[in-house]
Structure 1
Amino acid sequence: MTAAITDQARLDLPGHWPAALGPQTLAGLDLPTPFLAVDLDTVVDRYTAFAAAIPGVSTFYAMKCNPSADILGTLAALGSGFEVASIGELRMLQEIGVDPAEVLYSNPIKPPAAIVEARKAGLWRFSFDSEGELHKLAQLAPGAAVYIRLRVDDSTSSFPLSRKFGAEAHEARALLLLARQLGLRPYGVTFHVGSQCGTTSAWRQAIAAAGALMAALAADGIHLEMLDLGGGFPARYVERVPSLEQIAGAIVPALDELLPYRPRLLAAEPGRHLVAESAVMVASVLGREVRAGENWLYLDIGAYHGMMETQQTVQQWRFPLWTSRTDHALVPHLPFTVTGPSCDSSDTMFYGVNLPSTVDVGDRLYIGSAGAYTLSYASHFNGFPPPEPVFVGGVAPSAHLPAARVGGS
């Protein structure tokens, strides 16, 4: 067995771990695993801090990262707007009473039937980044307001997006002129600096590109009404990331210095930043083995049941971990490979993570910062169930899992 790591015998719970979901609280939740414990008060705090940090910028939650009804209801009660990527997401918002007229449809490529349904429901603002999408919108949503997605540098993000979406700067002006020619309403410009962006300068550079486009269009008689800063606002996992204050310190002066005029609507589409740190994934240890000198832990949750981001980054995506062991911070720790329950060998999440040497079958592993892109990605692969969400705190009553709710008002 790999030697114990004795210099890590005393550990502290990460400071960004939700206070309402400490190990003792989680140990008291007598629920079958896997489940995702979500502290809605943390969501409230994150939203409030985001709105205060960048004055004058309206928040449109990117619901794809966690579309739980409790989270949507909590954010709606706070006055948040929403950004959708599909008609299915718009329907979820309609179910909780959100007016489609207040929603942004920011997926640049949309199914024709989705455009028709969204327009009929009252949604009037659509993103695009190509001539083909403009012709589609002109035919199916005549007169709609359209905003172009610019391709910007997203090389400092964990999940770059520019290879799939975004018009080049030299194409954007012509596309918005074409939009006007087709009877659409040239409404705005947006960009995305990549999910989990690691540098504040990315926003300044993107705002500069948007400002240049706005200035060029002004000469054509087009005055854009919206600048959408997109997403990419990071959450804290294990590695440090730019703080919200640091990001705001780059964005706020850039808006003053790099735009030819201030659009009527300044928007942002945070997702991960608002919800990731609000939740803890709770899984049970199914087996502990030694293979080729490595310690292995087998859990009842894996990449295909909510932890897909560990696969997307070739096992470089690290989450804060804790266990249900009462001796967690007292005993020596060992390096473990942590894998999922399926028969797929690639269903492995963590390599060389230090956990108590005493951890064994029946113990629980707590995976922190698990509120984003876990429920969204979870499947029933190999017949194993995805995690059930359970909510504490918050102001929105549960509409779909009353039995699983353990707190709040």
Structure 2
Amino acid sequence: MMRTPALVMDLSVVEAAYRRFTTAMPSIAVHYAMKCNPHQDILTTLRSLGCRFEIASAPELDQLLALGVDPATVLYSNPIKPAAHIRDAYYGGVRSFAFDSLDEAAKLAALAPGSNVIVRLAALTTPSGVPSEGKFGVDPDTAVRLLAQARSLGLCPFGVTFHVGSQMLVPEAWRPPLVAVRRMMHQLADMGIFLQMVDLGGGFPAPYGAKPPPLERYAAVIENGLAGLPYPVRAVVEPGRALVAEAGTLTATVIGTAIRSGKRWIHLDAGAFNGFMESLETGNELRFPVSDSRGSAVRDRFQLTGPTCDSQDTILFDVELSADLSTGDLVHLGTAGAYTTAYASTFNGFEVPTVRCVSGSRLIEATVD
């Protein structure tokens, strides 16, 4: 019998997603945002395809170095970093760091002298499916000033980055930040600073319920914005969710059922705290595709909730499943390859999902944590 909760990752789906990016955006380098699922087999698969990587901490770099990834190709895109992480990443070979404050520039100058710095531009324009912006980024004028100050500290003002928000379903969201980048490049050129890179960030969506716009629409907006820049620069994207989410199916066991206020509740051994934290982040709006082991023709609506005593621990409301679903049955949640195991904790003593990797129908490994 399958031990649950369990996440199955199909690496052939990861490969297909990566190839969609390189086909739709052939002139743009893809750096996987490994924070959304740092499983070793995913990293190995993407590395074998020529994908590059983006990190948010020095321990993430350690994972990549153990796989033989060239640190010179890694982007350290977290704008605020612990001093020890900067030092370790620099000695590990990383030379490209994001920042959005003078304090961070001073830390980089002291601990990563001469490095390429990439200023984080705020991109608060269009609401995304998983709101994530507001913590980082500055306005264009401040960004220009920070790059000039970084130069005076002995750093190389290398580029500008922005993030339009996770699970962005509006391709046009990339247009306003690229217009701002164009203005910045003109201002910087007057100061003798010429950028070498524009990092377009992540935010590319995965199919939760409704199918998102085709990647080609995003590519068209981005290519148009890049074409409007005053001189050519290297362009990169940092997809995470769009590369791995659809590859994952998380299976949970029904541990109990109840009827409360006329509604049917299904309690699973996986919930918001040990696999589906994004349910809380999105107000239960992220619609994971759901099926069950019964597969009955007669259907009913359920509230799908987790195992802990926390009243917020609910994954989805009003989900259609087999009407005769009962304790011991299995529920399968699709598009679960991103931000599930990466966020999972043992809150209330409940186990995090095991991970099993396959490629099509071929088993890659049995079970790892």
Q: Identify which of 260, 281, 284 aligns with 2:230.
A: 260
CA distance in 2, matches of 1:102, 1:200: 27
Q: Identify which of 217, 222, 246 aligns with 2:217.
A: 246
Q: 1:63 to 1:157 in 2, by over 3 A?
A: same
CA distance in 1, matches of 2:287, 2:366: 32
Equivalent position of 1:184 in the other structure: 155
State the AA in 1 paired with 2:232: R
Give the TM-score, by structure 1 length: 0.87
Query: Which deviates the most, 201-210 or 76-85?
Result: 201-210
Equivalent position of 2:302 in the other structure: 336
Equivalent position of 1:86 in the other structure: 57
Query: Which deviates the most, 152-161 or 370-379?
Result: 152-161
Are 1:150 and 2:121 matched, yes or no?
Answer: yes
CA distance in 2, matches of 1:345, 1:403: 34
Q: 1:404 offset after TM fit, Å?
A: 2.9
**What secondary structure is seen at the aligned counterpart in 2 of 1:376?**
coil
Contact 1:60–1:267 (Cα < 8 Å) also in 2 = yes
CA distance in 2, matches of 1:66, 1:196: 15
Equivalent position of 1:128 in the other structure: 99
CA RMSD of aligned residues (A): 1.6
Moved over 4 A (4+): none
Contact 2:15–2:45 (Cα < 8 Å) also in 1 = yes
Q: How does 1:356-395 map to 2 (within 5 A)?
A: 356-393=322-359
Q: How does 1:226-375 map to 2 (within 5 A)?
A: 226-256=197-227, 258-263=228-233, 265-327=234-296, 330-331=297-298, 333-375=299-341
CA distance in 1, matches of 2:192, 2:167: 36
Query: Identity of aligned pairs, percent?
Result: 47
Contact 1:154–1:197 (Cα < 8 Å) also in 2 = no
CA distance in 2, matches of 1:75, 1:349: 30
Q: 1:403 offset after TM fit, Å?
A: 2.8
**What secondary structure is seen at the aligned counterpart in 2 of 1:195?**
coil
Q: 1:242 offset after TM fit, Å?
A: 2.0
**What secondary structure is seen at the aligned counterpart in 1 of 2:348?**
helix
Q: 5+ unaligned residues in a row in structure 2: which ranges?
A: none
Contact 1:236–1:369 (Cα < 8 Å) also in 2 = yes
**What secondary structure is seen at the aligned counterpart in 2 of 1:75?**
helix
Aligned length: 368
Give CA-to-partner distance per residue, 1:349-375, whole Å, 9 cap, x none: 111111111111111000010000001
Give CA-to-partner distance per residue, 1:131-164, whole Å, 9 cap, x none: 1101111111111110101011243212333310
State the AA in 2 paired with 1:271: G
Contact 1:154–1:160 (Cα < 8 Å) also in 2 = no
Contact 1:83–1:106 (Cα < 8 Å) also in 2 = yes
Q: How does 1:7-46 map to 2 (within 5 A)?
A: 30-46=1-17
Q: Identify which of 23, 31, 40 aligns with 1:69.
A: 40
Higher relative contact order (CA 8 A, sep 6+): 1
CA distance in 1, matches of 2:245, 2:69: 23
Contact 2:124–2:134 (Cα < 8 Å) also in 1 = no
Contact 1:299–1:340 (Cα < 8 Å) also in 2 = yes
Contact 1:105–1:127 (Cα < 8 Å) also in 2 = yes
CA distance in 2, matches of 1:334, 1:69: 39
CA distance in 1, matches of 2:223, 2:134: 28
Are 1:56 and 2:27 matched, yes or no?
Answer: yes
CA distance in 1, matches of 2:190, 2:141: 15
**What secondary structure is seen at the aligned counterpart in 2 of 1:251?**
helix
Q: 5+ unaligned residues in a row in structure 1: which ranges?
A: 1-29
State the AA in 1 paired with 2:206: A
